């Protein structure tokens, strides 16, 4: 149980996917202007990551031991199609939920955070429970980073920024500061 | 699959052709990958085996030969029953001198460190309870501080001949006891992780090592 | 995007600098930030991406007539994934130490938006030669951007360049630059510098264009 908890918190804050591994930067830069969109994007990410983790576990356990060289291709194809199928099911079952998350799903199915999750999970040899905990932790971490970024950008919108720093340069420097702050979480779980 | 549904107004391409295109692309891709796999895999495997051999050589202080044992069914065994894949099991390496005398065991283990998992391999003589050598295999500890557990030879060399259970002390409190390991100033947590991994691994595998040594002695001295 | 008429050399140089994939278009940021803590890593990552980009542009441009539009994207992804798998295995066989440091990021080239966008926007619509020129240019631009990042980070964060010590043993490395925050900050400051240069150039152009004897150009009065 302790290991599962460690994986969750480690993926969420200590080794935050966005701020430590630079995964999922496209939504981080693109969809972080408003807190509300950031929250929804984060939720969609948690959802897709959980699905991806399930797919990766299934492939790693049942199929890839026989054909290790097809890992990358099969991850991409299976995750993308599985998410698309689940998307259709949600659309049918709960149109309300689909309206909340739907528009983000196609954006993130082949995002580097999703594939990165599947690859990291494989490299570390996680089982089903560990993988799911890793996925939820990583998704929560991504949401946290997105929401923090969006709040800072919303607050900073009215401030007088030099013209050369407007746009991406400022976003990157804010992200650098956030990443620096998150480094303070290192050692959180290993102090004895 | 991943194909977006064709727009209803443009159905001039039959579904069969779409499937054939994807299947052909898949087949060609698979063929190419298998070809490259066949070329690179022996090189990669040889490199990995060589790295492992070097690590075992280093922590067991150059044994003349070493065997691989697998942790299976709560015991150490050199030969696995048919159908059990050894690569997924925990492995223990046992090193011998030329005259057949056992030098010690080498075990790889990992635990959460300051930033992420720290993995190391250490050589261990069960009879005297001494560590023969320690080498960090994988760590993401802070450059310049925590990575000294890997790069600071003064810290690494302390493990040669240290007696378990190990005890981390601050350099100014050191008394010269063989159980003591001087921790790195500014990287206490990383230093403790190394010590903890070794202590925990010995605690976990100790009985297995004893059982193996007993059965080995029984087998060689009739 | 409909194809515009361009000169062959423009196809090449556009990707290298004016539409640099990382510094201007902000594509492929994951690898640009994640593996650029040394010049060596940056260079290998850049070369692997270059190989995947040119390889898939070549194949896509070659067989573009055979692919129906409906399965275009899945076929492209299949082609890219094949080249990435090849690059991943070859790197592991040729430079295992670098491959260990790059880790999963070599496999992640497959989701680098830069590569798919080049196939969509260029290789699928243009003749073979032009597509290759475009891929060479964009790939080279990617390598240039990565090495620019890697050089700054390695020099400041480790005091070395390509593994050679620059400042002698008394230099206390600015470790933060080889850690993740350094990636964000380095790219941020590169962008500031480029924006500043861009602004300086446009202002200079304005000053030059201002007619003689009509007084000082308004934008420059503060300077």
Q: Which residue among A73, A115, A183 places its CB closest to the CB of C108?
A: A115
Residues of chain C found within 8 Å of residue A120, distances taken between Cβ atoms: 104
- Comparing alpha-carbon positions, the chain A residue that sits nearest to C179 is A20
Question: Which tens digits make up the pLDDT trace of C41-53?
Answer: 999 999 999 999 9
Question: Which tens digits make up the pLDDT trace of C57-70?
Answer: 999 998 888 888 77
- Comparing alpha-carbon positions, the chain C residue that sits nearest to B22 is C75
Yes or no, beta carbons of A69 and B116 under 8 Å apart? no
- Chains in touch with C (3+ beta-carbon pairs under 8 Å) read A, B
Query: What number is the average pLDDT over the span A78-82?
Result: 85
* Cβ-Cβ contacts under 8 Å for B66 (sequence gap 6 or more): B56, B60, B93, B94, B95, B96, B106
- Chains in touch with A (3+ beta-carbon pairs under 8 Å) read B, C
Yes or no, beta carbons of A25 and C82 under 8 Å apart? no
User: Min CA distance, C59 vs chain B (Å)?
Assistant: 11
- Over chain B (222 residues), the average pLDDT of each successive run of 10 is 47 77 86 90 92 90 86 82 78 87 89 88 90 91 86 90 88 84 88 92 90 79 56
Yes or no, beta carbons of C104 and A168 under 8 Å apart? no
DSSP per-residue string spanning chain A:
-HHHHHHHHIIIIIT-TTTTT--SHHHHHHS-SSHHHHHHHHHHHHHHHHHHHHHHHHIIIIIGGG-GGGHHHHHHHHHHHHHHHHHHHHHHH-HHHHHHHGGGHHHHTT-HHHHHHHHHHHHTT--HHHHHHHHHHHHHHHHHHHHHHHHHHHHHTTS---GGGTTHHHHHHHHHHHHHHHGGGTTTTT--
C-alpha–C-alpha distance, residues A49 and A55, integer Å = 10
Residues of chain A found within 8 Å of residue C175, distances taken between Cβ atoms: none
Residues of chain C found within 8 Å of residue A71, distances taken between Cβ atoms: 85
Has this prediction a pTM greater than 0.80? yes
Residues of chain C found within 8 Å of residue B21, distances taken between Cβ atoms: 66-68, 71, 75
Yes or no, beta carbons of B33 and A73 under 8 Å apart? yes
Residues of chain C found within 8 Å of residue A165, distances taken between Cβ atoms: 192, 195
Question: Which tens digits make up the pLDDT trace of C143-182?
Answer: 999 999 999 999 998 888 888 888 878 888 888 998 999 9
How much is the pLDDT for B201? 93
Domains in chain A: boundaries: 2-185
* Local confidence band at C1 (pLDDT 50, 70, 90 cut-offs): very low
Query: What number is the average pLDDT over the span A124-148?
Result: 93
pLDDT value at A41 more than 60: yes
How much is the pLDDT for C222? 44
* Local confidence band at C214 (pLDDT 50, 70, 90 cut-offs): low
How much is the pLDDT for B2? 46
Q: Which residue among B33, B37, B189 places its CB closest to the CB of A191?
A: B189
Give Dmax over CA atoms of chain B in angstroms: 86
Domains in chain B: boundaries: 60-220
pLDDT value at C88 more than 90: yes
- Comparing alpha-carbon positions, the chain B residue that sits nearest to C67 is B21
C-alpha–C-alpha distance, residues B90 and C68, integer Å = 50
């Amino acid at each position: 149980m302790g290991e599962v908890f460690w994986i969750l918190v480690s993926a969420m804050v200590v080794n935050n996917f966005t701020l430590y591994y630079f995964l999922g930067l496209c939504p981080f830069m693109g969809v972080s202007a408003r807190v509300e969109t950031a929250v929804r994007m984060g939720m969609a990410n948690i959802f897709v990551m959980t699905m991806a983790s399930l797919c990766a576990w299934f492939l790693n356990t049942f199929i890839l031991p026989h054909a290790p060289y097809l890992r990358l291709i099969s991850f991409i194809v299976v995750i993308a199609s599985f998410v698309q199928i689940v998307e259709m099911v949600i659309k049918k079952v709960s149109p309300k939920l689909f309206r909340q998350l739907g528009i983000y799903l196609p954006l993130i199915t082949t995002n580097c955070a999703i594939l990165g999750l599947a690859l990291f999970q494989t490299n570390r040899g996680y089982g089903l429970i560990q993988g799911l905990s890793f996925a939820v932790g990583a998704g929560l971490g991504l949401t946290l980073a997105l929401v923090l970024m969006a709040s800072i950008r919303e607050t900073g919108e009215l401030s007088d920024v030099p013209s050369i720093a407007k746009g991406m340069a400022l976003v990157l420097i804010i992200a650098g500061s956030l990443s620096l702050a998150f480094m303070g979480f290192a050692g959180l779980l290993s102090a004895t | 699959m991943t194909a977006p549904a064709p727009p209803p107004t443009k159905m001039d391409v039959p579904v069969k052709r779409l499937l054939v295109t994807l299947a052909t692309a898949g087949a060609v891709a698979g063929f190419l990958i298998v070809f490259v796999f066949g070329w690179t895999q022996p090189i990669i495997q040889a490199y990995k085996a060589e790295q492992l051999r070097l690590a075992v050589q280093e922590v067991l202080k150059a044994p003349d030969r070493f065997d691989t044992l697998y942790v299976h069914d709560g015991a150490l065994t050199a030969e696995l029953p048919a159908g059990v894949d050894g690569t997924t099991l925990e492995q223990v390496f046992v090193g011998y001198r030329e005259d057949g005398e056992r030098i010690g065991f080498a075990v790889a283990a990992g635990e959460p460190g300051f930033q992420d998992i720290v993995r190391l391999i250490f050589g261990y003589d069960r009879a005297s309870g001494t560590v023969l050598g320690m080498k960090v295999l994988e760590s993401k500890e802070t450059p310049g501080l925590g990575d000294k557990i890997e790069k600071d030879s003064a810290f690494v060399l302390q493990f040669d001949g240290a007696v378990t259970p190990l005890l981390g002390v601050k350099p100014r409190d050191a008394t010269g006891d063989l159980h003591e390991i001087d921790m790195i100033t500014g990287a206490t947590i990383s230093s403790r992780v190394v010590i903890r991994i070794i202590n925990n691994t010995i605690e976990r595998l100790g009985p297995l090592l004893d059982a193996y040594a007993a059965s080995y002695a029984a087998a060689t001295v009739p | 995007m409909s194809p515009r008429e361009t000169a062959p050399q423009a196809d090449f140089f556009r990707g290298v600098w004016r539409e640099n994939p990382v510094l201007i278009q902000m594509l492929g940021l994951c690898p640009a930030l994640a593996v650029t803590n040394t010049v060596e890593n940056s260079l290998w990552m850049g070369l692997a991406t270059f190989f995947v980009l040119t390889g898939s542009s070549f194949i896509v441009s070659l067989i573009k007539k055979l692919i129906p539009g409906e399965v275009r994207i899945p076929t492209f992804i299949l082609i890219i994934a094949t080249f990435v798998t090849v690059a991943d295995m070859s790197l592991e066989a040729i430079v295992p130490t670098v491959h260990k440091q790059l880790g999963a990021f070599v496999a992640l080239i497959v989701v680098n938006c830069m590569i798919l966008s080049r196939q969509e926007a260029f290789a699928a619509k243009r003749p073979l030669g032009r597509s290759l020129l475009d891929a060479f240019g964009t790939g080279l631009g990617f390598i240039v951007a990565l090495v620019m990042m890697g050089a700054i980070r390695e020099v400041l964060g480790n005091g070395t360049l390509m593994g050679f010590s620059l400042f002698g043993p008394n230099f206390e490395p600015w470790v933060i630059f080889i850690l993740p925050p350094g990636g964000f900050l380095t790219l941020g400051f590169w962008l500031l510098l480029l924006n500043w240069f861009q602004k300086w150039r446009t202002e200079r152009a304005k000053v030059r264009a201002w007619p003689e004897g009509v007084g000082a150009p308004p934008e420059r009065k503060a300077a």
